[in-house]
Structure 1
Amino acid sequence: MSRLSALNTRLRLLYREIAKFGLVGIAGIGVNLVVFNLLRSATNLQTVRASVVATIVAIAFNYVGFRYFTYRNADKSGRGKELGLFTFFSAIGLVIENGVLYGATYGMGWDGPLANNFWKFTGIGVATLFRFWSYRTWVFRSLPAQAVEQAEAILSDAEQQARVNAAGK
């Protein structure tokens, strides 16, 4: 396989990964914001407390989406370790996300439904950059590149053999 072809394949896989991560992430953002706004309107929870609960619900939703959709082909050995790392990095993301909201709400005094949703969404955006990097680097590790190249070579050989067999008939 040429270097250009290998680079093209890697970029295509990265774009696909980002798209799948984005779909799960958008759904998770929806879950997060709906739960946040329901808690804010139906309970007396303070802004950041309601946000933390909503973030935890979204984290659980996202784990299922990432494990069974975005990274379903990732190495499945060591699920306990995977879940532990996911929880650890998600907790850091929770602190980032809610730290932005806390700073805006209590530090700057920007409180109210519109301001709360704006800063929550902003915090989600900042935390998402961290989460994407950490999940793909540490949690949902891909199979080694060498194994992928070997699998591609086997598939390529099988396709060539099938063409030869079809031409011979």
Structure 2
Amino acid sequence: MTASPLSGGRTPSALRRLANEVAKFGVVGISGLVVQLVSLSILLDTGMQPVRANIVATVIAIATNYVGYRYWVYRGADKKTRSREISLFLVFSVIGLVIQSGVLYLLTYGLGMTTKIETFIGTMVGIAVATVFRFWAYRTWVFRVVPQAEEALDAAEQILAAEQVKRSTATRTR
């Protein structure tokens, strides 16, 4: 298949894989969000300061998210460099944590949003900003797909698409 000018040089199968990756990333992210908000609620109820509670809750969510990313979203990523992967995941997760906590800090202390619901809103805004960074960083640097596997997948999808065209043409000519 040739790439469409509208797809920026990507084949439809590559765009489909990207959409699938974004959807899976979102599912893991949402589960991490639930873990984080439950943890945050518990920590705020104990009287912990909002930004500190957010940091602890985010660390808990990062740990659960790694499992989802490694074993579901990016299971085809190169497994030979696991220590590199974990190191980069932690570095980019900490950068995301700083972005997220920075937003919450500004909203809490800059705008005086100190109630529990305002802390949740600030956390959600911080998560939204940090998620864009994390998605880019994880797919670009952390969970790299083995190039041969991606090429083989493209070839297989092209063969299947050609076979499907043959079948539909054969059905129409009968």
Deviation at 1:45, TM superposition (A): 1.4
Aligned equivalent of 2:48: 45
The SS at the match of 2:11 is helix
Deviation at 1:6, TM superposition (A): 6.0
RMSD: 2.2
Equivalent residue letter for 1:85:
L
Query: Number of residues paired by the alignment?
Result: 158
Q: Structure 2: which 5+ residue stretches go unaligned?
A: 164-174
Q: 1:22, 1:147 → 2: CA distance?
A: 23
- Please give the residue correspondences for 1:93-104 in structure 2 after superposition, counting only pairs within 5 Å: 93-104=96-107
Deviation at 1:32, TM superposition (A): 0.5
Deviation at 1:33, TM superposition (A): 0.6
Q: Structure 1: which 5+ residue stretches go unaligned?
A: 161-169
- Please give the residue correspondences for 1:10-89 in structure 2 after superposition, counting only pairs within 5 Å: 10-41=14-45, 43-89=46-92
Q: 1:23, 1:68 → 2: CA distance?
A: 13
Q: 1:87, 1:3 → 2: CA distance?
A: 36
User: Please, which of 126, 129, 135 is the counterpart of residue 129 of structure 2?
Assistant: 126
Deviation at 1:148, TM superposition (A): 2.6
Q: Percent identity?
A: 50
Equivalent residue letter for 1:149:
E
Q: 1:128, 1:45 → 2: CA distance?
A: 24
Q: When the two structures are superposed, what TM-score results if normalisation uses the length of structure 1?
A: 0.86
Equivalent residue letter for 2:48:
L
Q: When the two structures are superposed, what TM-score results if normalisation uses the length of structure 2?
A: 0.83
